[in-house]
Amino acid sequence: MAGIGFELRKMLRGDSFLSDVSAYLYAAMVSSGPWLMSVLCLAVLGLYSYSGFSPQDQDIFRTTIVYVYAFTLIYVGYIQLVVTRYLADRFYMGDEKITLTAFSTSTIIVLAAGAVLGVGGIWFFELTFTYKIIAVVLFLIVAMIWLTMIFLSAVKDFRSIVQAFAVGTSCSVGTAFLLYPLFGLEGYLLGYTFGQAVIFFWLLARLLAEFPPGRVWDSEMFSYFIKYWELALIGMFFNLAIWVDKIMFWFAPDSRMVVPYLRTHDMYEGPIFFAYLTIVPTLAIFLVKIETKFYEHYHDYFAKIISKEDLSSILQEKQGMIRMLKESLREILIVQGSLTMLCIFMAPEFIELVGLSPLQQPLLQIALVGSLMQVMLSVAVIILFYFDLRKEVLAVTLVFLLSNVVLTWLSMQLGFTFYGYGYCYSCFISLMFSYYLVSKSVRDLEYITFSSQPLF
């Protein structure tokens, strides 16, 4: 994450309004990341899926896509942060040659383990053999997209990412519609998969163009899994925590089995996904703030330490950083809060617009609140990451995961009117916990900075 700042500041230094907007847009793209992409893609397909699709086929397809996104995100999570850290360290040492080597190594891991997982996961679903094969391919391609994005965001090439997604998503939608009349559901999925493949190869081409070829296997990367085991756990469990309430609802008593054993929960998923879209502005604003202004304070703070200043001027700099953090958080809360409030009031109109059931309105409203919490939680986590407090982030992640499991289960027991509250309260609890850790860490910042130094 820390890598993006420089590019953003460069853009912000250009005075034109346009460059400001593009910086914010890029920021939104990168920060909201994969999650947002998946929701967007589904929304597009969901809105335009009228062309003679049988409801059964539509359900199978939609559920497949949701499953693929959910499980690829969780699956790739274990490698994501570790590789990011590895690249950042290597780049810092000026070793950019390692990029493709690390990429090919992680590709091998992701594909090998992913193939086993994908096949194992889909095998028992009652779907045609062809459909299963295409689904596994889609699973691998989407997993590779997430992986490639990690490497591309390391070089701050956000334009390529946006372009690739724009073109690829269009291709997905286009070819899906094109192939459905010819091959039915399998054609539809194949068409969709093709578009995702376009995204992947676009990103891949960009990556290959950027870096010189290297060795295929990088054994050194593995030491990072041991050294930064917290990152592997955080990556996987944070994504799991985000998804676990949805997964649990697939198995709720009032969920529906599309085909054995592909399950969905019609009432729950829709509002949650839509609510999540509202966090885009926050992520954009926050990212720009943290990566520019906060980064400067952060940088100055350490610069003061290294340039042999006395403690009181170091502390002064820290006060500046705290002030800035508080300001940004207030700003985020105002913007996101107003947006969320607005959406809550506009919920009935929105529900009609996107074709949800009026019954889902309270769920959408609570999901909106939940999303607000979740985005604030991400903010806190990113700040903790800034100070390299991996153990703290891991603690937050585990709290998030456990509370979401427990509270979601509880809300399921309490019945439909309580749906969404589990997720929302889980976000709230994790948010409070993470803010406690952030404020404690900032307060003890110089202690953490100095005392964590190894003796030699």
Partner 1 sequence: MSSDKQYDVCLLLEGTYPFVAGGVSTWIHNLIKGMPELTFTAVCILASSKEKAEYRYDVPDNFVDLKIVYLHDEVEISQNPFKKISGGNMEKLRKFHYRMDRNDISMMKEMVELFRDDKFPLSELFHGKKAWNMLVERYKPDSNDESFIDYFWTYRFTHLPIFKMLPLDLPKARVYHTISTGYAGMLGVVARVMTGRPLLLTEHGIYVKERKIEISQAEWVYRKEDERMRIESKLGAFQTFWIRMFEQLARLCYDYSSAIYTLYEGNRQLEIQEGADPDKIRIIPNGISLDNFLGLKPEDHDYMGQTEFAVGFVGRVVPIKDVKTFLRAVKIVSIKIEKLKVYIMGPTEEDKEYFEECVNLVRLLHLEDVVEFTGKVRVTDYLPGLDLIVLTSISEAQPLVIMEANCAGIPAVASDVGSCRELLEGRTVADQALGPSGIVTKVADPVSTGEAILKILTSPILRSKMSKAGIERVKTFYKESDLNETYLKIYKDYMAMDDLE
CB of 312 to partner 1, least distance (A): 5
C-beta of 163 vs 441, nearer to partner 1: 441
Task: Say if CB 412 and CB 404 are below 8 A apart.
Answer: no
Residue for token pair 């999925």: 189
Q: Give least dist CB 86 to partner 1, A.
A: 24
Shortest reach from residue 319's CB to partner 1, in Å:
13
| Nearest distance from C-beta of residue 396 to partner 1, angstroms | 18
State which residue, 326 or 391, has the beta carbon closest to partner 1: 391
First to last CA, the chain: 28
Closest CA to 409 of 249, 276, 300, 297: 249
By C-beta, is 368 or 445 nearer to partner 1? 445
- Nearest-10 crossing angle of helices 280-289, 361-386: 20
387 or 421: CB nearest partner 1: 387
Contact 174, 162 (CB under 8 A): no
In the block, tokens 């509880």 appear at: 410
Shortest Å, Cβ 438 to partner 1: 18
Contact criterion met (CB below 8 Å) for 202 and 167: yes
From the CB of 320, what's the least distance to partner 1, in Å? 17
Here the tokens at position 360 are 């889902």
Of 300 and 309, nearer to partner 1 (C-beta) is 309
Closer residue to partner 1, CB minimum distance, 215 or 440: 440
Instruction: Report the nearest approach of partner 1 to the CB of residue 456 (Å).
Output: 5
Burial of 111 from C-beta contacts in 10 A (0-12 / 13-18 / 19+): middle
- 128 versus 313: smaller Cβ distance to partner 1: 313
Instruction: By CB under 8 A, name the binding residues for partner 1.
Output: 305-306, 308-312, 314-315, 444, 447, 450-452, 455-456
DSSP 124: T
Judged by beta carbon, residue 352 or residue 444, the one nearer partner 1 is 444
Minimum CB distance to partner 1 smaller for 219 or for 451? 451
The answer to whether residues 176 and 48 touch, using CB atoms and an 8 Å cutoff, is no
- The DSSP 8-state label assigned to residue 262 in this structure reads E
CB atoms within 10 A of CB 258: 21
- C-beta of 309: minimal distance to partner 1 in Å? 7
Q: What minimum distance in Å lies between the beta carbon of 446 and partner 1?
A: 8
| Shortest separation between residue 433's beta carbon and partner 1, angstroms | 19
H, E, C per residue of 189-250 = HHHHHHHHHHHHHHHHHHHHHHCCCCCCCCCHHHHHHHHCHHHHHHHHHHHHHHHHHHHHHH
Compute the distance between CA of residue 262 and CA of residue 70 in angstroms, rounded to an integer.
14
SS3 category, 355: coil
Residue 88 or residue 322: which is nearer to partner 1 going by CB? Answer: 322
Cα dihedral sign, 279-282-288-292: negative
Separation of alpha carbons 428 and 424, rounded Å: 6
Q: Which CB atom, from 43 or from 315, has the smaller least distance to partner 1?
A: 315
Contact between 190 and 179 (Cβ < 8 Å) = yes
DSSP one-letter code for 258: E
Q: Which residue has the tokens 């990088």?
A: 218
Q: Please, are residues 249 and 408 in contact by the beta-carbon 8 Å criterion?
A: yes
Minimum gap (Å) between residue 264 Cβ and partner 1: 44
